Amino acid sequence: YLFPKAGKLRQTAVYRMGKQADGIIVTNQSDEDALRLHVDNPLAQIPIGSNIIAPAPNAAAIQAVRDGLGLDDDVVLLGYFGFLNETKGADTLLEAMQKLNGRFHLVFIGGQTGSSDGDNNAAFLRDLRQQIDDAGLTARVHWTGFLDDADVSTYLHAADLMVMPYHDGASLRRGTLMAALAHKRPLITTTPQTPIPEFIHGENIYFIPASNPNALTLAIQITTTDNDLRHRLAANAGKIAGLFTWDKIAEKTAVFFQSLQDASGK
């Protein structure tokens, strides 16, 4: 995520670091495939975990969040978590919101833009806000701003459905996606560019094509009306998140470090 405007220079720098490293850790299959074309050094694929601790849900706090947003009991609250930029599909989500009736609300959870590529992200945010105004969605789209981890967790639980339609597909590099799974939330996201065996459509996650607001609208309607599907996605999301806990990540990292040390004879 460094040097977002560097283009090919960025790739060249990454490959050079990889060639000089004693060992390389990647978080996902697509990055591994790309590096293996250029680097022969030892490489391990170790995913990241949730960037938010997932405590047990507090029913009173969750209801307080919904009350604070002014939501009636029959409102379906869609959640989107993470910084906003042009790769993450918030524009597609807003297009879908225009096709959904007034029963559906959306909350953007957390800070709006990060420090990396700040000018482009700020411009994208301005375009999103204009899109909301032009579509008459202001009363149905909510913003939390920066929150501490406990409040992020409460908002994740308050959302009936998490919707994160990345333009470049779901990836294990997305800590925000892992947070949704760790919180056992039913999640709609986009089909990965490189298959992720652990993700099973309709069982622990719901996939849609990227940049397709019609498909996203239909997926939201299906998961909202099919209680069994939604509950299955939520329960199995928690199970798959168990594969990506930080203690397991640390253990795999230690094993890889030890293998490098053994190979060097040091």
Write out pLDDT tens, residues 164-217: 999 999 998 899 999 999 999 999 999 999 999 999 999 999 999 999 999 999
Least confident interval from 4-8, 40-44, 103-107: 4-8
pLDDT for the residue 122: 84
Torsion of CA 221, 222, 228, 232, to 10 degrees: -100
* Position with higher pLDDT, 207 vs 2: 207
Rounded to an integer, what distance in angstroms lies between the CA atom of residue 205 and that of residue 211? 18
Sheet with strand 104-109: strands edge to edge: 141-143, 104-109, 76-81, 161-164, 187-190, 206-208
The C-alpha atoms of residue 43 and residue 146 are separated, in whole angstroms, by 36
CA dist 220 and 186 (Å) reads 11
Q: What was the pLDDT predicted at 80? A: 97
- Does pLDDT of 4 surpass 60? no
pLDDT (0 to 100) of residue 45: 94
Phi-psi region of 144 (alpha: psi -120 to 50; beta: other; left: phi over 0): alpha
Tokens linked to 11: 């790739």
Question: Is the model more confident about 111 or about 42?
Answer: 42
Neighbours of 203 (CB within 10 A): 15
From 10-19, 87-96, 157-166, 236-245, the region with the lowest mean pLDDT:
10-19
Positive or negative, the CA dihedral 50, 52, 58, 64 is negative
- Strand, coil or helix: 206: strand
11 falls in which pLDDT band (50, 70, 90)? confident
**Under 8 Å between Cβ of 124 and 84:** yes
* pLDDT at 5 > cutoff 80: no
Q: Is 80 exceeded by the pLDDT of residue 118? A: no
Average pLDDT, the chain: 92
Least confident range from 101-105, 119-123, 188-192, 251-255: namely 119-123
Q: Tens of pLDDT along 29-81? A: 989 998 999 999 999 999 999 989 888 889 999 999 999 999 999 999 999 99
pLDDT classification of 1: cutoffs 50, 70, 90: very low
Does residue 6 register a pLDDT over 80? no
Task: Classify 208 as helix, strand or coil.
Answer: strand
Contact assessment for residue 172 and residue 178, using Cβ atoms and an 8 Å cutoff:
yes
> Residue 110: CA atoms inside 13 Å, Cβ hemisphere, count?
17
pLDDT at 112: 75
Q: Which pLDDT score, from 0 to 100, does residue 116 have?
A: 54
